[in-house]
Structure 1
């Protein structure tokens, strides 16, 4: 599935859309700054799949700091049968830059 831009994500969050949204950064990073996503650090993703099971056939948005860890999370989830995973391109850094414009 095609990745998601920060512009599209911001529009959806501004519109208060409900969608499965996962932040794969470490807990301390999440505590410093977050977008309200469910925090499951990348290293704990395999052990936390039961938390995401209900979203297996739904669009699932994943993000991290820059888009690299969430790209890995997307690949991992796809190997587990998740068919509609979308990575936030540029991560929270790009999202915050967009907000500053």
Structure 2
């Protein structure tokens, strides 16, 4: 069985959707020390290694946009969750290419 391609979104597309006020489910899968340097406002933080045990926090009916530093880890998370029946989008380019607002999590 072929793995289904992961849907992707660029940082610019995400910025545009947020600017329009779209209600999006954003999940940052970076490690704590990376997240401490700034996140997209409104993002939920679940480190990649915690995804399997925290899947119950995700609603299989919703589509989630996954974010990491470059787009590689979030892509892997998308493949994993898609196999479990979740709807996923990978933000390609990650936070390296993000030019929108950032907030420092408390």
For the criterion TM > 0.5, the same-fold answer is yes
Greater helix share, structure number? 1
Equivalent pairs counted in the alignment come to 95
Tell me which protein shows more strand as a share of its residues: 2
Aligned to 1:43: 49
Structure 1 ranges of 4+ moved more than 3 A = none
User: Structure 2 length as normaliser, TM-score?
Assistant: 0.82
Matching residue of 1:16 = 21
- Whole-angstrom distance in 1 between the partners of 2:73 and 2:57: 19
- Please point out which of 14, 26, 30 is paired with 1:25: 30
CA deviations 1:23-50 (Å, max 9, x no partner) are 0001111111100310000000101101
1:80 Cα offset (Å): 1.0
**TM-align CA RMSD:** 1.6
